[in-house]
Structure 1
Amino acid sequence: MEKKTTDPWQWGKYTSSVQAVEIKQAEGTLYCSGQVAIDANGQPISADMNTQLVATIQNLEQLISEAGYEPGGIVRLNVYTTSTEEFFASCLPTYQTWIAKYGIQQATTMLEVKALFGGLTIELEVTVVK
């Protein structure tokens, strides 16, 4: 895979994302459904948003791994949250640490939504390439 990112503005280096990602010669592309903080029995994890984010990341990593891909191949990340204010106040360090851990350089969209399944507060949807 050949990966090229484009981020023409200086403020982009502070967003934990890039404005565009171009992929050439990919071996495969994995389109993941939105992942949330659900336990192995399919029950929503009732906890604060940051704890839900940690569980969501774990579920996402498991899905990506079982599909034969790696988190470092994430090129598109959509974040759905019931409160962007709470996300930036309580989840940003966890989110940024996860992005840095794998050297992810992804195009990102964040949306505040009215509600998520089971009263959950955060959902991550990704596209991964290898």
Structure 2
Amino acid sequence: MEQERVNPWEWQSEMGYSQAIEVRQSDRVLYCAGQTSMDSEGNPVYPGDIRAQINKYFDNINQVLTNADFKLADVVQIDCYTTDVNGLFEHWDLITDRLEQPTCTLLGVERLAFPELLVEIKPTAMR
């Protein structure tokens, strides 16, 4: 698979995302459900701790990607939903350190499926 990031400006690179990504010669696309800070029984964990919830998200999405024979480097798009936009930006480094400038949409929402959850991220991966 070949990827080309399309960034007519520089400012988005400081935020760790791309305006667009053109993908050529892709064999597979993996559309994922939004992933959150849930344990293996489906219970929310780390209430009130957005940093711990983001780390748990990456544990969970790594498991989903691995089971589908993908890896984090294959993620080209994320949709982020959070009840605390400022709190998410304070810990944005957790996302930019692990993902290679995917395209991104970030929405502040009133609440997620469980009131304890502060962030949900829905990735799309391509290979």
Q: Is TM (by shorter chain) over 0.5?
A: yes
Structure 1 position 108 matched with structure 2 position 108? no
Aligned length: 125
Q: What corresponds to 2:81 in structure 1?
A: 80
Q: Secondary structure at the match of 1:57?
A: helix
Distance 1:63 1:86 in 2: 25
TM-score (normalizing by structure 2): 0.93
CA distance in structure 1 between the partners assigned to 2:24 and 2:43 by the alignment? 39
Q: TM-score, normalised by structure 1?
A: 0.91
**Equivalent position of 1:7 in the other structure:** 7
Runs of 4+ in 1 over 4 A off after TM superposition: none
Distance in 1 of aligned mates of 2:39 and 2:103: 28
Measure, in 2, the Cα distance between the counterparts of 1:11 and 1:46.
32
Task: Output aligned runs, 1:1-130, within 5 Å.
Answer: 1-47=1-47, 48-89=49-90, 91-99=91-99, 104-119=100-115, 120-130=117-127
Does structure 2 conserve the Cα–Cα contact (< 8 Å) formed by 1:12 and 1:18?
yes
Q: In 2, Cα distance between the equivalents of 1:96 and 1:10?
A: 16
Give the conservation status (yes or no) of the 8 Å contact 1:74–1:105: no
Fraction of identical pairs, as percent: 28
Structure having the higher helix fraction is: 1
SS at match of 1:98: coil
Q: Deviations over 1:30-85 (max 9, x none)?
A: 00000000001111113301101100111011101101111101111111100101
